[in-house]
Structure 1
Amino acid sequence: MTRPLRLVAVSGGLQRPSKAAALAEHLMDLIADEVLCEQRLVELGQLAPQLAGATWRSHLPETVERELAAVEQADILVVATPVFRGAYTGLFKHFFDFIHQDALIDKPVLLAATGGSERHALMIDHQLRPLFSFFQARTLPLGVYATDQDFLDYRLQSEALIQRATLAVQRALPLIGLTRHAQSATAEELVAA
């Protein structure tokens, strides 16, 4: 029997509650409805005091190191960040600067962002996709962008957004299936060895 996939979401939201975290959790739940997985949410706003001043990974406290390791060992990633000045948050980028450059190779990554208006929707393709292309990750076909009007009390309320999130996950399932298949093949190789 294969183990559950490790599904990790990273929220670049700086406060709690966070629309980015709410969107990330919604996407994780949609994936978990389809695939056996263990879920973990990394909230960068909660790590900010321990993360923001560090320049080397070896200087990070164990709490941050555990979250970096969780991302590196994930089978599937969901990343969601608020848009600040047309891009992801500085804290989001700082966190991913500590991720080993080979750790995300071929890892499926579902991209998501939140912003005050629709004018920042292309940030997913112009900012997030290139960042994860550097890591050679498999960014999933559809990103999910949400505006402030899509939420009510930090819960998704817009039917159009809920449908887009569902479609993004449905389109991601074949790539997630490949991850499951690769995991099973590796487990069989280990047993045979």
Structure 2
Amino acid sequence: MTQPLRVVAVSGGLQSPSKSAALTEHILGLIADEISSEQHMVELGQLAPLLAGAIWRSQLPEVVERKLTVVEQADILVVATPVYRGSYTGLFKHFFDFIHQDALIDKPVLLAATGGSERHALVIEHQLRPLFSFFQARTLPLGIYATDKDFVDYRLQDPALIERTRLALQRAMPLLELTRKARHPLVEQLAVA
């Protein structure tokens, strides 16, 4: 029996509802269709008041510590942030400042962002990818960038973007399968025997 992968999504959206959260939920749904997974969503907008003023991880309340631990123990991360002044939100960076620097080594990370227009699409390459390279994570090849026009009532509607999201996941599947096999080598050996 194959154990599900722990897939954790982090949405940097500050409002509720949030387009970043809607995008991560869409991606989580596609992952659930392809691979057995236990999914968790971390919405930073809900944690904002609890993160304010904390400089050290030891200063954080238990609820934030639990969210950090969930991220650190993930097998796969999906991260999405709204673009704010050409980058991820300060809250998004503040949250990841508390993640242990070795906790994400070799973890697959699917990068996503939302913005008001296409002019911010390179935030994935110029901001998110370097952040997760610091953590030595394995950022997946295709990032997903959505604009306001891609949503209707906080649901992804643009056919081209929906197809790009499917393609990003399709290209990620070999790495996700390797991650699953690496996590459960004994289970894989018993299945072959």
Query: Same-fold call, TM > 0.5?
Result: yes
Change in Cα spacing, 1:96 to 1:186, as seen in structure 2 (3 Å) is: farther
Offset, 1:128: 0.2
Q: Distance in 2 between matches of 1:136 and 1:186?
A: 26
Offset, 1:53: 1.5
Q: Distance in 1 between matches of 2:183 and 2:2?
A: 8
What is the aligned partner in structure 2 of residue 118 from structure 1?
A: 118
Change in Cα spacing, 1:186 to 1:68, as seen in structure 2 (3 Å) is: farther
Say whether 1:79 aligns with 2:79.
Answer: yes
Moved over 3 A (4+): 186-189
Q: Which amino acid aligns with 1:19?
A: K
Q: Distance in 2 between matches of 1:175 and 1:163?
A: 20
SS at match of 1:23: helix
What is the aligned partner in structure 2 of residue 147 from structure 1?
A: 147
Q: Distance in 2 between matches of 1:154 and 1:71?
A: 25
Q: Which amino acid aligns with 2:110?
A: L
1:86-165 mapped onto 2 (5 Å cutoff): 86-165=86-165
What is the aligned partner in structure 2 of residue 53 from structure 1?
A: 53
Q: Which amino acid aligns with 1:177?
A: E
Percent identity between the two aligned chains = 77
Q: RMSD of aligned C-alpha atoms?
A: 1.2
Q: Which amino acid aligns with 1:172?
A: A
Q: Distance in 2 between matches of 1:51 and 1:29?
A: 28
Q: Distance in 2 between matches of 1:16 and 1:39?
A: 20
**Conserved in 2, the CA contact under 8 Å of 1:52 and 1:94?**
no
What is the aligned partner in structure 2 of residue 26 from structure 1?
A: 26
Question: Could you tell me the TM-score, scaled by structure 2's length?
Answer: 0.95
Aligned pair count? 189
Question: Could you tell me the TM-score, scaled by structure 1's length?
Answer: 0.95
Moved more, 106-115 or 178-187: 178-187
SS at match of 1:105: coil
Offset, 1:3: 1.6
Q: Distance in 2 between matches of 1:71 and 1:34?
A: 21
Q: Distance in 1 between matches of 2:186 and 2:23?
A: 32
Offset, 1:120: 0.4
**Conserved in 1, the CA contact under 8 Å of 2:22 and 2:155?**
yes
